[in-house]
Structure 1
């Protein structure tokens, strides 16, 4: 029986595969792109499932009518545009189905980006934990880029749970009692769309995260020559954290505030802080030592550079959580 090609063998025997085979960055990018597309597609399908289950209407203020204070004070002259708009009804009926669907489908762009952010974040953590703390910025970035092709294989198994989410949610909504208030319905729709109330989906989530951790551990050992125990330990911690965030993230971090852009900006800022830690330390030192003698030979210690890079990684994690991306892990 012929052996599997390394592209497939990396999913089932990653420890041996990554030690003798180096994947291309182009194929790695394609894998993550497929995962992102599957995630976005699944969220869009979930929106249709949730919106199709919700029926009925509710009464809301008419957005096309001016505020009551303007109409009561005769702000507009008779026959003016304001006067004509004040003749419109104060309230209108709004269908609840589209409200629920829009609340869920609003997460499609973030779902598309989540596998890419996960890919970068995991690679940053691996580079941080396996590189010498005193590396120059270019050397640290080179090691980061060297890990990217292999860690993409650890992102790919998430595609299975992405595609399982609409199926799980279709079962959940059969017994879902939704509120008639527009704001409460939007929040409830986003919560149920996560699928984490389904025991079966939680099992799929745990299984795929364990698979991802297995592949990540093989990539870390193969590319960075980490010990098997260390690689498995790091990957297991990351998988456990991801499960915790994914299981409770929909409840703890509802994306009902405009935090997505701010959170993704935090991810970008954290990455720059990680990649250019020595440069920023040199700039800080230059300004702090203005007026001091003997400042030409000042060099940061290795542990301090590592700490600065670790702070950048923590900022990336905080930004990802703030963006609400944990809902789409």
Structure 2
């Protein structure tokens, strides 16, 4: 009977075997496309959720320039114009107080299109880079095979996104936000979110480890690379991802 330590030691190899065999499925390409769609939509929803987190946790009024008032130079030049519209607008105060949480929510919602475009761009870039790495290592798969591997690997990004939003919610819920200007508010938010860097880095490492397993199994199945060579290629990209996450 094998010892518990021996069983534990064989676990990584067993997981890699399962992942490699999964890539041999005729549905591997469909799974990659489905994963891409899920992560793309999930990222956009995550940005909306992030905005909701800001709105729920940041209860602070800040002073900003009044968007309804023309610039000072315009008011000086046309403030006495008989047109009542310009005169009325110039009578508005130069600065107004707004709810910081609502402003941050609107700002986050304004980045939804980056989620819709950014994820597919990341997928294409990673697939092409992975294909080059596989070819350098002696792989025999096609570009399409590399896109399938990248599509599977991208799924781990949902883990990082969800953990990031949860960490920001928890951090801001327990932070004291006192800034009354946009600059001061930004400093408060940055200081609060920075305190969660450690846990977020751990979650990123877990996500990257999952992607490493997927890439190793995919390179074995799709590019006919040996496990050691596939692990070397995957480790190269994992190291880059970890460095980016740590910045």
Query: What band does the TM-score fall into relative to the shorter chain?
Result: 0.7 to 0.9
Q: 2:84 aligns with which of 80, 84, 89?
A: 80
Residue 58 of structure 1 corresponds to 62
Query: Could you tell me how far apart the structure 2 residues matched to 1:93 and 1:60 are?
Result: 6
Aligned residues: 231
Superposition pairs for residues 7-156 of structure 1, below 5 Å? 13-18=18-23, 20-73=24-77, 75-78=79-82, 80-131=84-135, 143-156=142-155
Please, which runs of 5 or more residues in structure 2 have no aligned partner?
1-13
> Larger deviation: 206-215 or 195-204?
195-204
Residue 244 of structure 1 corresponds to 243
Superposition pairs for residues 163-174 of structure 1, below 5 Å? 163-174=162-173
Query: Could you tell me how far apart the structure 2 residues matched to 1:96 and 1:52 are?
Result: 10
User: What do the CA deviations read for 1:132-152 (whole angstroms, capped 9, x no partner)?
Assistant: 7xxxxxxx9x92123222332
How far apart are 1:77 and its partner, in Å? 2.6
Query: Could you tell me how far apart the structure 1 residues matched to 2:245 and 2:120 are?
Result: 16
Query: Could you tell me how far apart the structure 2 residues matched to 1:247 and 1:97 are?
Result: 28
> Larger deviation: 31-40 or 84-93?
84-93
How far apart are 1:120 and its partner, in Å? 1.7
Residue 216 of structure 2 corresponds to 217
Query: Could you tell me how far apart the structure 1 residues matched to 2:236 and 2:58 are?
Result: 39
User: What do the CA deviations read for 1:46-78 (whole angstroms, capped 9, x no partner)?
Assistant: 221122211232233322222233334455434
TM-score scaled by length of structure 1: 0.60
> Larger deviation: 110-119 or 225-234?
110-119
How far apart are 1:237 and its partner, in Å? 2.0
Superposed CA RMSD in Å reads 3.2
Relative to 1, partners in 2 of residues 1:204 and 1:183: Cα closer, same or farther, differing over 3 Å?
A: same
Please, which runs of 5 or more residues in structure 1 have no aligned partner?
1-8, 133-139, 249-329
TM-score scaled by length of structure 2: 0.78
Runs of 4+ in 1 over 4 A off after TM superposition: 9-12, 186-193
Query: Could you tell me how far apart the structure 2 residues matched to 1:150 and 1:10 are?
Result: 16
Relative to 1, partners in 2 of residues 1:73 and 1:130: Cα closer, same or farther, differing over 3 Å?
A: closer
